[in-house]
């Protein structure tokens, strides 16, 4: 997969471990608060994951 294309959430989650080193659940959690879209770029998903894992647990 290239960085510039847009992919469905299902496509990204199928390859979550090899693309980002995380389980699909992390991607769903990271994108849950975001605006629901049909397609995402890998850069958008990476940014959301980074923000999600740095979030303070209350």
**In the chain, domain spans:** 6-54
Q: Transcribe 39-52 into DSSP letters.
A: EEEHHHHHHHHHHH
CA 9 to chain centre: 8
Give the pLDDT confidence of 10-57 residue by residue, as tens digits.
999 999 999 999 999 999 999 987 667 889 999 999 999 999 999 887
Question: What is the crossing angle of helices 24-31 and 42-54, to 10°?
Answer: 90
What's residue 35's pLDDT? 67
What's residue 58's pLDDT? 79
């Amino acid at each position: 997969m290239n960085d510039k294309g847009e992919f469905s959430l299902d496509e990204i989650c199928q390859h979550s471990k090899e693309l980002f080193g995380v389980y699909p659940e992390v991607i769903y959690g990271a994108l849950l608060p975001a605006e629901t879209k049909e397609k995402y770029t890998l850069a958008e998903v990476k940014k959301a994951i980074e923000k999600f894992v740095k979030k303070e647990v209350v």
